[in-house]
A and B are shown apart, each in its own frame.
Chain A
Amino acid sequence: DAGVTQSPTHLIKTRGQQVTLRCSPKSGHDTVSWYQQALGQGPQFIFQYYEEEERQRGNFPDRFSGHQFPNYSSELNVNALLLGDSALYLCASSYLAERSTDTQYFGPGTRLTVL
């Protein structure tokens, strides 16, 4: 049973560029959440996708956008990159119908470095 996968593992970009990160959820899961984890801190919620729509959003600017595909996989896009966007980006999947008992399973993350 494949767990949550993310690509790429590492990414280096320069300020002002755009980046796309990808996530495939655990088999049987239909909901994908994205988190940003700065060095030495706990993860911060960016947004969550369900049925190809943004269901909930954290306190992040519009430069952060996402998409969910019919196969439940998801992309996180960040435009006009800033140095402060350097972080580990974590994807987590869950099964919404079991919201009361669900558990979010995390992928290994994508390390983004902005120079």
Chain B
Amino acid sequence: AQTVTQSQPEMSVQEAETVTLSCTYDTSESDYYLFWYKQPPSRQMILVIRQEAYKQQNATENRFSVNFQKAAKSFSLKISDSQLGDAAMYFCAVRNNAGNMLTFGGGTRLMVKP
């Protein structure tokens, strides 16, 4: 079984500043994948970034980057130069290589102040 924990129900950041969202997970698999999804009020889940557990290099996508600590089972998301459009619910998820089931955390609501 896999579990994902997001300990920050809400976070707030000033526009143009940097914010980090935390995520810890537990899995017995040695090969797995980690994801951050964004869910704006429109409800559609949008992929932000993904990380393969076998890769030591942290993934980056424009203003979004991760800090992947495999031994600590930690997968945090850093958003640089925050924009008003970044305001949304952010979900961390894990998937093992054998299946295709995503296990999600409870989410973090990010608010961006102008």
Task: Tell me the A residues contacting B by CB distance below 8 Å.
Answer: 31, 33, 35, 40-45, 48, 55-56, 58, 88, 90, 92, 94, 96, 99-100, 102-109, 111
Contacts and interface: CB of A to CB of B under 8 A. Distances in A.
Chain B interface size band reads 20 to 34
Contact of B44 (A31, A55, A109, A111): A109
B69 to A, nearest CB: 21
Binding site secondary structure of chain B:
loop
Nearest to A43: B104
B97 A100 contact: yes
Contact of A106 (B4, B44, B99, B101): B44
B100 A94 contact: yes
B33 to A, nearest CB: 8
Contacts of B4: 42
A48 B43 contact: no
Contact of A43 (B47, B50, B100, B102): B102
A70 B12 CA distance: 46
Contacts of A43: 45, 91, 102, 104
Contact of A109 (B37, B43, B50): B43
Contacts of A33: 100-102
Given A88-B43, A108-B43, A42 B105 contact: yes
A90 B45 contact: yes
Interface in B75-114: 91, 93, 97, 99-107
A41 B100 contact: no
A48 B4 CA distance: 20
A42 B107 contact: yes
Contacts of A109: 43-44
Interface in B33-69: 35, 37, 42-47, 50
A100 B50 CA distance: 12
